[in-house]
A = this chain, B = another copy of it.
Amino acid sequence: MKKEKILLVDDEPDIIDLISYNLEKEGYHIKSASNGRDAIDIAKSFMPDLILLDVMMPEMDGIETCVEIRNMEGINSPLIAFLTARGEDYSQIAGFDAGADDYISKPIKPRVLLSRIQALLRRRAGTESSTSVETVGSVTIDKEKYLVVLDGEEMNLPKKEFELLALLMSKPGRVFTREIILNSIWGNDVVVGDRTIDVHIRKLREKIGTKIIKTVKGVGYKFEAK
C-alpha cells in the first residue's frame, strides 16, 4: 500500500521526534523542517500530500508559511494542518483564512493526530490538477493561448465567455449552479444581475453551437460531453 508523504514543520526537536516516530510507524513517508523557510524549500521537491505546520515558530511563523505555500504555483496544493498550543484561538481563524484545511491542538496525542490525518487524507479523494489544453468532444480550449478550436476551426472568445466555457468544460457533464458560476467567474463579492449569465450562455451557444451547453432548469448549466 502506497502511503502518503507528510512534511512536518516545528521548531521543537522533541515534537518532531514524537510525531515522526508515530507516523512512520504507520507507514507514512515523513520529512521535517524546523522553520518556515526550510519547509518551503523542502516542499518544492518533496511534494508532500500533507503539511503539519506549527503556528509559533521563529523566523517565519506557520501562517505566513501557509500563505506562501498556497501562493506557490509549482506545488500541488497540499493539505495543510496547523499545530497550535491551546489558547491560541486567534490563530485558528487566521489559519483557516490563510488556507488551512484543519488545525490540531497541542499537546499532541498520537492517536488523535492519527485520526485527524487519516480523516484529512481520506477526504482528499477527487482533487486533481488541470492542464492548460483541454478537449471535450469536438471542442478544444487552450487556456494559455485563450484559444478555442471547434471542429478544426480556431476562434477567439471574449474573456468572460471564454472563462465560462472553460469552467463548464473543466468538468464535462457536471452541472454548474449559477451561484458557483458567479463565484468562479465574477468573484464572491461582485454583484451582477441574474440575466447576465444567460446572456453569456446565449452568446456562447451562438458561437459554438446550441446543443453543446445544456440547461438544467432550476439548477444550472452543463457542458454536454457526447
Contacts and interface: CB of A to CB of B under 8 A. Distances in A.
A196 interface: no
B175 A144 contact: yes
A218 B159 contact: yes
Contacts of A64: none
A130 B125 contact: yes
A107 to B, nearest CB: 9
Interface residues of A, number: 41
Interface string A4-37: 0000000000000000000000000000000000
A53 to B, nearest CB: 16
A45 interface: no
B147 A173 contact: yes
Interface in A120-137: 123, 125-127, 129-130
Interface of A: 1, 86, 89, 92-93, 96-97, 101-102, 105, 109, 111-112, 115-116, 118-119, 123, 125-127, 129-130, 142, 144-147, 156, 158-159, 171, 173-175, 179, 216-219, 222
